[in-house]
Amino acid sequence: MLAIFSKTLVDAPKELNSPGSISFGSGNINNKPKLPEEIVRIFQQAYSQNTPLSIGLGNSAFLAYSPCKGPLLRHQRTFCGIDNMYCIFLGNLSNLNTLIKQYGLGKSTNDAMFVIEAYRTLRDRGPYPVDQVLKDLEGCFGFVIFDKNAGTVFAALGADQRVELFWGVAADGSVVISDNKDIIKASCAKSFAAFPSGCMYHSEMGLMSYEHPKNKLKAMPRIDSEGAVCGANFKVDVSSKKASMPRVGSEVNWAFPGSRA
């Protein structure tokens, strides 16, 4: 799968951007970050035999995935678009039937559809903390949601590390997310990292751990074999706690940015 979001939409963690990636390679274009249109071509060429599907959403976002199985596709993937909310989902939820009943959804709901509906519930009503909603998801999963109406991006990766996601920064500052490490490396050069397991990213909240929501994340610079900084790995800092946000009243909902009580 591939997701590209403009820098006006997503502000990537500064640790992802490696200054050396611009000049590295003495002008060798293969060692420089690519522009979004070049990245799309790289993805299409990599999955040309699996008939990739894609959707461009103005100048803000581009989403693509290949629904077929093959040597490059380790996990099932589903795509869904509902009311200008779009989701690419990798893996599977082993407790999907239970979640469908809990949320009052139809039996034909797939993993991507459920994640959109859970996101909608958090956005509009927010009865549960977002970290608890993600903890209730059982199985292996990774997903990216683009809410076109709200202009927000929400991504999360399961804690069991069976599904991998990678993200990086393109030549124009766009954020690129994919489950294919080779595509991320070809697209973002040195400015990339593994998306941390057990974590979520929201374009209004930033990156945080839903497994350990009270702890801060620490960026650990990654050095390659040539001694160059290649983005950063993000890990939970067990010694650092976030300042708690006190509730003002029972009607106040801190679950999600923009949520309405």
Instruction: Kindly indicate the confidence band of residue 19, based on its pLDDT and cuts at 50, 70 and 90.
Output: low
Element (H, E) at 72: none
Mean pLDDT for the chain?
A: 85
| Phi–psi pair at 103, nearest 5 degrees | -95, 0
State yes or no: pLDDT of 94 exceeds 50: yes
Cα 204 from chain centroid? Answer: 13
Predicted model pTM: 0.86
Q: Each residue of 133-171: pLDDT tens digit?
A: 999 999 999 999 999 999 999 999 999 989 999 999 999
Q: What is the DSSP string of 211-244?
A: SSTTEEEEEEEEE-TTS-EEEEEEEEEEEEEPPP
pLDDT at 251: 36
What domains can be seen in the chain, in order of their start residue?
A: 2-241 (3.60.20.10)
pLDDT band at 237 (very low <50, low <70, confident <90, very high): confident
